Amino acid sequence: MTEIAKLTPIIKLIHKALETDQYGQAAALFLRLRPADRADVFEYLNEDDRGSLLNHLDIATTADLFDELDDQQTVEAAESISVERLADVLDEMEPDEAADLLGDLSPERAEQAITEMEEAKDVLHLLDYPDETAGGRMTTAFVSLNTLTTADQAIQHLRQLSPDNDVPYYLFVLDIDEKMVGVVGLRDLVIAKPHTPIHEIMDTDIISITPLTDQEQAARTMTHYDLSVLPVLDENSHLVGIITHDDILDVIEAEATEDIYRLASVADNDLQPDSGTIEQLRGRLPWLLLNTLTALFASWIISIFGDLFVKVAILAFFQSVVAGQGGSAASQNVAMIVRAIALGKIENKRIIPILIKQLWVGLLQGSIIGIIIGLGVGLWQQNPYLGLILGLALIGNMLVAAIVGTLMPLLFQAIGQDPAMTSSVLVTAATDSLGFLIFLSLARVFLPLILQYLA
Amino acid sequence: MTEIAKLTPIIKLIHKALETDQYGQAAALFLRLRPADRADVFEYLNEDDRGSLLNHLDIATTADLFDELDDQQTVEAAESISVERLADVLDEMEPDEAADLLGDLSPERAEQAITEMEEAKDVLHLLDYPDETAGGRMTTAFVSLNTLTTADQAIQHLRQLSPDNDVPYYLFVLDIDEKMVGVVGLRDLVIAKPHTPIHEIMDTDIISITPLTDQEQAARTMTHYDLSVLPVLDENSHLVGIITHDDILDVIEAEATEDIYRLASVADNDLQPDSGTIEQLRGRLPWLLLNTLTALFASWIISIFGDLFVKVAILAFFQSVVAGQGGSAASQNVAMIVRAIALGKIENKRIIPILIKQLWVGLLQGSIIGIIIGLGVGLWQQNPYLGLILGLALIGNMLVAAIVGTLMPLLFQAIGQDPAMTSSVLVTAATDSLGFLIFLSLARVFLPLILQYLA
């Protein structure tokens, strides 16, 4: 997937240069790479190499590198340089990235760095907002104009900003009370007559959010209206920050990871296959322990029918088939509902038709699989009534799966919980317990008939 | 999630206007909405309303609407208007969207529309590329310049293009042989001196892909390098199209849906909770049928130990606990590996350390849960050896889960299959069968000791 193979030769060259104390040479090689590739290369160097390279990069390059690295890598790198250097780098970083980094550092080190920073104000302001809100994602690096500026003056202003800053594609227009009243795209500026005042070319149809809007909602708004930048306004319509389209990609990927992890009962969204043992246990064990409880509950249900196994041991061969098929069907249901909710495709008025459709599909799937397994096992075990109760139990458990798999995520959504929290553990707890209950109850009812066919 | 509630008043007004044959009024109300909201409102109108509204919108608005609607909705709308009108709309649509729509229409209707179209060439060209490639995603609506154009001439050119077209943020620079040699951003044009030739301000570090590059790879390249547009070059470095950042959002959402669905054994990425019955069965039944086979295989393994249940019925109560915990742990493993692969975080050289880590975590989780369940069941059933074999079997199956859950998705990736295809059905087939095998084999070995404690 990644293109690290292409980068291997340069990684070797940089490593060699660092080993032989040719730090300038190593830094020069590093600088030739594109910023995103620098992050990849940096991650592949060993700890010693990283440390010596970091001390020989200029502040701007280090800031770019910190912007590109993963959160954890950035923290490690930030811990390995002097506080003075760190403060300079933080001043140079995008304010939102700097705020994120400060939030991830140890409180002491963050405080030291803030004391040394020259432009701490903007960044400190961002630290006030919770991580997963628009305020936590936004940057304060935007350009604002007043309504009477002309197109030509705006362009002059942008020329002055460059090359210290990237020129933004959108400029925000504030009235005399500093309230945001419009937005002007670079393209409108370019094609406007030079003396046109901004208020004549600005777009006054402002789509905005508040600092405490959830980041997922912000992402939805941006994708829905195809925006590449979304202004964040406080209660007085003052522009406090902007969210840009690259933030949205991060949010969407993070939300997809969260859904996939929760559906698979992994509680920690940052968990990686090679994360530390403590993190692994913290992220995975709680759901498995819950699974332990529900599994023992299912065992207890089976134990109610304990005497049956002495008389008809073959019941023990097939009880898991009923439970397993129900669990698989329920997982399919949950995945569809969770995804439909995430993509904004479910409305309240559609719940009843969906449930009816899913019950119907459950009935059909249960019947098809019930007939196949019923016939198959009936012939294999030479016991038509065993086949019959297996088939009936499968149909019953498929209906259970349709109800639980459809309604449980919707219920979680309704009570303000993440529908993906429904996860396989909770839903299969229901299909397991009820699957065993239905199958073994039928076995009890049909016991005399099943026994007839046993040798 | 969606904001349809806010739109309800206008939906009612439009419906009322259409009912009373005030079509102009309805169209005017519709036009007042933002394009993305128009699509939402349109989806909420009934079929009659949609038909009459469509016939009273101008071509440009209809084209915008088609660009915004879901694929299926667009096809329905396109089927409901005359071929002549459809051809005009297709001419007006973005070429990539028009190509997608033509691909979704019935072959006869598509052919009729193409015959009537004025600008079919660009669109037909796009139809040649497979759906999930860069060629299938790209648009041919880009602006190119030659190297000797000046910044001022380029801006004049853009002024002429507008207002018929959106002014693009990036312009592509071609040499005398029509090969792409650079890219110029609007911001570079704006801040450059008017007479600067393009070749002095263009960026010659071109990141590009080929038309047959997989769309996911294209999305990765754009997110990795934070690009808002990615040129697609043929083998002769001729620019054949561009991919824009809104396409990437679609790709990333589609890929996340695909992963979530495959992990939950749903084979059709377009399946919705309220999709038709045939689509539901086609998308879900195949995996459940495969599950049937693996479940019967697990039943057969249990049947080998059939005599045990007659002697020790309680074994039937607990066999599913071992299988179930293994399945849950394996799902966690698969989710982590699939996501790490999707986000490009796994390299070959990291596989062995990951496997060792996961085996270690499996051992720890197995031991913790094994001790809890072993002690719990041992006390509950007053049978220490039953507790012992349960605990040992849990540890064993957790190790199986770690191996299968880690290696199976990596193996699928290595042989060029989607790692998410590993899905719960395949992995739990392994943890079920081996879980039963381990538990019942241990039961056979410890049988005399277990029997001692039975009344």
B108: closest CA of chain A, how far (Å): 31
Q: Are B265 and B331 in contact (CB under 8 A)?
A: no
How many residues comprise chain B?
Answer: 455
User: Which amino acid is present at A20?
Assistant: T
Domain range for A75 is 4-132
Q: Do both B429 and B410 map to the same domain? A: yes
Nearest CA-CA partner of B14 in B2, B1, B31: B31
Same domain, A168 and A117: no
Give the residue on B whose Cα is nearest the Cα of A324: B295
Rounded average pLDDT over B101-129: 89
pLDDT at B71: 82
Distance CA A374, CA A353 (A): 30
Which residues fall within 8 angstroms of residue A359, CB to CB, at 6 or more apart? A399, A402, A403
- CA-to-CA distance for B327 and B405, rounded, in angstroms? 9
Q: What pLDDT is attached to residue A348?
A: 64
DSSP3 helix / strand / coil % (chain B, rounded to 5)? 70, 5, 25
Do A245 and A97 lie in a common domain? no
Bridge partners of residue A139, in order along the sequence? A242
- Cβ of B307 within 8 Å of Cβ of A313? The answer is yes
B210 with B234: CB under 8 angstroms?
Answer: yes
Relative to beta strand A180-185, strand A144-146 is unpaired
If asked whether residues A324 and A398 sit together in one domain, one would say yes
Compute chain B's Rg from CA coordinates. 30
- What's this model's pTM, rounded to 2 decimal places? 0.79
Residue A153's closest CA among A171, A179, A166, A177? A171
- Torsion angle of alpha carbons B256, B412, A287, B258, nearest 10°? 20
Q: What is the pLDDT of residue A1?
A: 38
Give contacts of A317 with chain B, Cβ < 8 Å.
299-300, 302-303, 306
Consecutive H or E run containing A297? helix A277-304
Which residue in chain A is spatially nearest to B370 when comparing CA positions?
Answer: A292
Is B259 a domain residue? no
B75 pLDDT higher than 50: yes
pLDDT number for residue A167: 67
The whole-number pLDDT of residue B217 equals 87
DSSP state of A284: H
Q: Which phi and psi (to 5°) does residue A348 adopt?
A: -50, -40
A331: which chain B residues are within 8 Å (Cβ-Cβ)? 264-265, 424
From CA A373, how far away is CA A395, in angstroms rounded? 11
The tokens for B387 are 């507790």
Q: Which residues of B touch A248 (CB under 8 A)?
A: 249
SS3 call for B233 = strand
Same domain as B112, residue B30: yes
- Shared domain check, A64 and A162: no
Instruction: Give, in degrees to the nearest 5, the angle at Cα A391 between A385 and A396.
Output: 125
Q: The domain spanning residue A368 has which CATH number?
A: 1.10.357.20
B118 with B158, same domain: the answer is no
Residue with tokens 């459940």: B288
B190 pLDDT above the threshold of 90: no
Q: Is residue A86 in some structural domain? A: yes
Q: Which residues contact A7 (CB under 8 A, 6 or more apart)?
A: A33, A37, A40, A41, A44
- Judging contacts by C-beta atoms under 8 Å, the chain B residues touching residue A306 are 313-314, 316-317
Instruction: Identify the pLDDT of residue B165.
Output: 60
Predicted confidence at residue B161, as pLDDT, reads 79
**Which residues are B174's β-sheet partners?**
B146, B180
pLDDT at position A194 is 86
Q: Identify whether B313 is part of a domain.
A: yes
Cβ distance of B331 and A265 shorter than 8 Å: yes
Q: Whole-angstrom distance between the N-terminal and C-terminal Cα of chain B?
A: 59
Q: Are B158 and A191 a contacting pair at CB < 8 A?
A: yes
Which of A31, A64, A190 best tests the B interface by mutation, with the highest count of B CBs <10 A? A190
With residue B239 as reference, give the H or E element that holds it: strand B239-244
If you count residue pairs, one on A and one on B, with CB atoms under 8 Å apart, how many are there? 347
The DSSP-derived string for B321-364 is HHHHHHHHHHHHHHHHHHHHHHTT---GGGHHHHHHHHHHHHHH
The residue from B107, B134, B161 where one domain ends is B134
Q: Does residue A258 fall inside a structural domain? A: no
- Cα three-residue angle B57-B62-B68, rounded to 5 degrees: 135
Query: B2 pLDDT band (50/70/90 cuts)?
Result: very low
Helices A423-445 and A315-342, packing angle to 10 deg: 140
- B39: tokens are 């699509």
**Residue A95 and residue A125: Cα distance in Å, rounded?**
10
Nearest-angstrom CA–CA distance, A219 and A132: 11
Residue B326 lies in a domain: yes
Per-residue confidence band for B349, with pLDDT thresholds at 50, 70 and 90: low
Test A292 with B36 for CB contact under 8 angstroms.
no
Q: Do A249 and B249 touch (CB under 8 A)?
A: yes
Give the Cβ contact number of residue B246 at 10 Å.
14
Q: In what order do the strands lie in the sheet with A180-185?
A: A144-146, A170-174, A180-185
Long-range contacts of B24-29 (CB under 8 A, 24+ apart): B24/B56, B26/B52, B26/B53, B26/B56, B27/B53, B27/B56, B27/B57, B27/B61
B435 residue type, one letter: G
Q: Name the residue facing A277 among B280, B350, B360 (closest C-beta).
A: B360
**Average pLDDT, stretch B366-394?**
94
Give the whole-angstrom CA distance, residue B232 versus residue B340.
Answer: 27
CATH of the domain at A218: 3.10.580.10
Amino acid at A385: Y
The distance of A288 to chain B (nearest Cα, Å) reads: 7
- pLDDT score for B162: 67
Nearest residue in chain A measured CA to CA from B158: A191
Beta carbons within 8 Å of B89's beta carbon, 6+ residues apart: B59, B62, B63, B66, B78, B81
Is A284 close to B332, i.e. CB distance below 8 A? yes
Nearest to B186 among A190, A280, A328 (CB): A190
Cβ atoms of residues B420 and B338 within 8 Å: yes
Q: Are residues B324 and B242 in the same domain?
A: no
Partner residue opposite B158 with nearest CB, options A190, A225, A296 = A190
Asked whether the beta carbons of residue A187 and residue B320 sit closer than 8 angstroms, the reply is no
| Mean pLDDT to the nearest integer, B178-185 | 93
Q: Do A41 and A104 fall within a single domain?
A: yes
Residue A329 to chain B, least CA–CA distance (Å): 7
- pLDDT at residue B428, as a whole number: 85
Residue in B2, B361, B364 nearest the CB of A344: B2
Residues A242 and A286 in one domain: no
Average pLDDT, chain B: 89
Do A288 and A366 lie in a common domain?
yes
**Nearest CA among B167, B170, B253 for reference residue B208:** B170
User: What is residue B422's predicted lDDT score, i.e. its pLDDT?
Assistant: 76
Query: What is the CATH number for B115?
Result: 1.25.60.10
Least trusted range by pLDDT, from A92-106, A403-417, B293-307, B419-433: B419-433
pLDDT value at position B6?
79
Q: Domain count of chain B?
A: 3
ipTM for the complex shown: 0.79
Q: Determine contact, residues B191/B207, Cβ cutoff 8 Å.
A: no
Q: What is the DSSP letter of B214?
A: B
Closest of A250, A430, A259 to residue A336, by C-alpha: A259
| Residue B248 belongs to a domain | yes
Residue of B nearest to A253 (CA): B252
Q: Decide if pLDDT at B1 tops 50.
A: no
Asked whether A436 and A304 are in contact (CB, 8 A), the reply is: no
Domain boundary among B85, B107, B134: B134
Q: How much is the pLDDT for A406? A: 93
Rg (CA), chain A: 30
Q: What is the pLDDT of residue A165?
A: 59
| Identity of the residue in B260, B302, B358 whose CB atom sits nearest the CB atom of A273 | B358
Residue B360 lies in a domain: yes
Identify the pLDDT of residue A407: 93
Same domain (yes/no): A79, A157: no
CA distance A154 to A171: 9
Query: Of the ranges A277-286, B118-127, B332-341, which one carries the lowest mean pLDDT score?
Result: B118-127
Within a domain: B139: no
Q: How many residues does chain A have?
A: 455
Looking at A253, A288, A318, which one is the last position of a domain? A253
Residue ranges for chain A with pLDDT beneath 50: 1-2
| The pair of three-digit structure tokens given for residue B20, joined into one six-digit string | 């009373």
For residue B448, whether the previous peptide bond is cis, meaning omega lies within 30 degrees of 0, is no
Contacts of A228 (CB under 8 A, 6+ apart): A169, A170, A222, A244, A245, B228, B245
